[in-house]
């Protein structure tokens, strides 16, 4: 092993090279260092990646003030104490703090303290176990003794709509970095990003129009989730239009919003309005357009051709996160972790993969035993049917595992239990006029939970218990003994069991020999 204190300029050989220093890449590197390896991490932008500066952290920070204000107004006594409206300038300042004001020096200090060598620049594969790094016009080659891990994440997709690119629309980056609120905002898309930003900008004072190509918001979740979020958006003054999108866009003089990846301070509202021609023939004039129609892996300039793969492709992997070649066989030295592998585009899921990948890389490098059985230490089994997720809209949406439609498609023997969260005693003291819904998907053959979805104020805090039940395959007869505190929203678990019936309380009899 090489000396971890060696400077980046003097050392070009490491046990592991990680391309991409977002939270996923950082975790791969950290786990490998803890396993005894030397690691270099290559980053062309800010250490901490999309989540820290343009996604998870700043978006949730900018959503939080409106959530807190809404919650206070739903509680008599607290409601009367609220004498003003949302302070937009303070909300932006709170956002800036969550994004460390787009300064990654603290992250760089952490890498150094963890014994990880930082190499600034754009990294691409050069050949087997080699990474070429370009920085400030100079190129340097790093070589790995054991493995290279790609954790370059994903980028927003901008649809090929005539005039859209010329109008310089916002993606999540420009939208979260702006410190001005567009008077009129069109959002293209109906998924998580579109729903969260619609909630955010409606609360900040924009006249928001959401253009959803499909039948409703949050189409991959239980139908009632999108319905309740759309209802709340309408109540906040947003216009959610389904079954339509833009067919053409024009903006006189082009836009002034920053291009993707540029300085966040350059993301400003355009002085020139944009006109969208919609697929139903109508037109819509707005000040800014936010594109939230999906993401694709950031693999365009990664040198994939040097290992027999195609530019821009998703890097499919086995469950130990090794990249699969065109024949479906794992490339023994190459790993892909996080959004770039398309398994589950969520930061917490990418970090889960990173823990498995960093550990297994170290084990393979040191000749240890790989635990690659389902739910083993070196696999990402939960990516398949046990992915927890929260949509931080108003109301919140929290989900884990299968939806009813997915279970039916898989031909599982299931029972669907729906429960009105407003009927839970804890909801009446949590907020006046509480509105929400819960759904549980039960495997009737095995007597375990396959999935759960909650919609309502503060339901994100219900999710970890559901995740534990799904991942742990906790038998229903044992869940009867998991007593919810009263009066809390968690009482919905007891109500679910009661809806299933008393028979679920009886443990199965042991088979007789």
Q: How far apart are CA 222 and CA 287, in angstroms?
A: 33
- The reply, when asked if residue 433 is annotated as ligand binding, is no
Are 458 and 435 in contact, with CB atoms under 8 Å apart?
Answer: no
- Residue 123's beta-bridge partner residues? 133
For the record, the structure tokens of 153 come out as: 């994440």
DSSP state of 513: -
Q: Which two tokens stand for residue 24?
A: 């996923």
Instruction: Tell whether 505 is in a known binding site.
Output: no
On whether 319 is known to bind a ligand per the annotation, the reply is: no
25 labeled binding residue: no
> Any binding-site annotation on 192?
yes
**SS3 of the chain: helix, strand, coil, percent, to 5:** 35, 25, 40
State the Cα–Cα distance between residues 21 and 14, nearest whole angstrom: 16
**For residues 157 and 407, what is the distance between their CA atoms, to the nearest angstrom?**
29
Q: Is 339 annotated as a binding residue?
A: yes
Q: What is the DSSP string of 224-248?
A: HHHHHHHHHHHHTT-EEEES--EEE
Distance CA 319, CA 245 (A): 37
CA distances from 135 to 17, 102, 141, 373, 507 (A): 16, 20, 11, 41, 63
**Would the annotation count 196 as a binding residue?**
yes
Pairing of strands 396-401, 389-391: antiparallel
Q: Hey, what are 399's tokens?
A: 């989900």
Indicate the SS3 state at residue 419: strand
Is 312 annotated to bind ligand?
no
Calculate ∠ Cα 468-469-475, nearest 5°.
Answer: 145
Strands of the sheet with 274-278, listed across from one edge: 246-251, 274-278, 283-286
Element containing residue 30 per DSSP (H, E): helix 23-34
Please check if 152 is assigned to a binding site. Answer: yes
Does the annotation place 193 within a ligand binding site? yes
Cis-peptide, bond into residue 486, ω within 30° of zero: no
243 carries a ligand binding annotation:
no
- The residue among 384, 501, 488, 406 whose CA lies nearest residue 453 is 406
Which residues does the annotation place in the binding site?
60, 123, 152-154, 189-196, 294, 339
Which residues does the annotation place in the binding site for NAD(+)?
189-196, 294
Which residues does the annotation place in the binding site for FAD?
60, 123, 152-154, 339
């Amino acid at each position: 092993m090489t000396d971890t204190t060696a400077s980046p300029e003097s050392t070009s050989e490491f046990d592991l090279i990680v391309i991409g220093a977002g939270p996923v890449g950082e975790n791969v590197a950290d786990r490998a260092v803890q396993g005894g390896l030397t690691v270099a991490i290559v980053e062309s932008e800010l250490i901490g990646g999309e989540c820290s500066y343009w996604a998870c952290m700043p978006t949730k920070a900018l959503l939080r003030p409106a959530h807190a204000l809404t919650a206070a107004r739903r509680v008599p006594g607290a409601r009367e104490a609220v004498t003003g409206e949302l302070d937009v300038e303070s909300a932006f300042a709170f956002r800036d703090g969550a994004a460390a004001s787009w300064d990654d020096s603290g992250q760089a200090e952490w890498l150094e303290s963890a014994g990880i060598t930082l190499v600034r620049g754009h990294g691409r594969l050069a050949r087997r176990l080699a990474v070429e790094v370009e920085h400030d016009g100079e190129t340097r080659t790093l070589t790995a003794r054991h493995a290279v891990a790609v954790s370059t994440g994903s980028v927003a997709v901008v649809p090929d709509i005539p005039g859209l690119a010329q109008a310089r629309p916002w993606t999540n980056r420009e939208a979260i970095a702006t410190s001005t609120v567009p008077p009129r905002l069109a959002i293209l898309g109906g998924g998580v990003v579109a729903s969260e930003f619609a909630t955010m900008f409606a609360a900040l004072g924009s006249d928001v129009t959401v253009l959803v190509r499909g039948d409703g918001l949050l189409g991959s979740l239980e139908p009632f989730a999108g319905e309740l979020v759309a209802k709340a958006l309408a109540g906040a003054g947003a216009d959610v239009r389904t079954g339509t999108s833009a067919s053409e866009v024009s903006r006189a003089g082009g836009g002034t919003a920053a291009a993707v990846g540029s300085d966040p301070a350059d993301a400003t509202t355009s002085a020139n309005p944009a006109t969208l021609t919609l697929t139903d023939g109508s037109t819509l004039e707005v000040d800014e357009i936010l594109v939230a129609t999906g993401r694709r892996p950031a693999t365009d300039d990664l040198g994939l051709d040097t290992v027999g793969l195609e530019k821009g492709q998703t890097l499919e992997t086995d469950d130990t996160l090794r990249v699969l070649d065109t024949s479906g066989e794992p490339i023994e030295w190459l790993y892909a972790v996080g959004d770039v592998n398309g398994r589950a585009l969520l930061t917490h899921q990418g970090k889960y993969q990173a823990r498995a990948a960093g550990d297994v890389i170290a084990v393979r490098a040191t000749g240890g035993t790989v635990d690659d059985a389902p739910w083993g230490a070196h696999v990402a089994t939960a990516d398949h049917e046990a992915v927890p997720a929260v949509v931080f809209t108003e109301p919140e949406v929290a989900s884990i595992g299968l939806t009813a439609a997915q279970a039916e498609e898989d031909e599982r023997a299931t029972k669907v239990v729906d429960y009105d969260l407003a009927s839970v005693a804890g909801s009446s003291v949590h907020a006046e006029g509480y509105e929400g819904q819960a759904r549980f998907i039960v495997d009737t053959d095995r007597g375990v939970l396959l999935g759960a979805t909650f919609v309502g104020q503060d339901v994100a805090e219900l999710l970890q218990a559901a995740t534990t039940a799904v991942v742990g395959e906790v038998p229903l007869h044992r869940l009867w003994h998991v007593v919810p505190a009263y009066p809390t929203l968690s009482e919905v678990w007891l109500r679910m069991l009661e809806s299933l019936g008393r028979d679920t309380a009886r443990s199965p009899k042991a088979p007789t020999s």
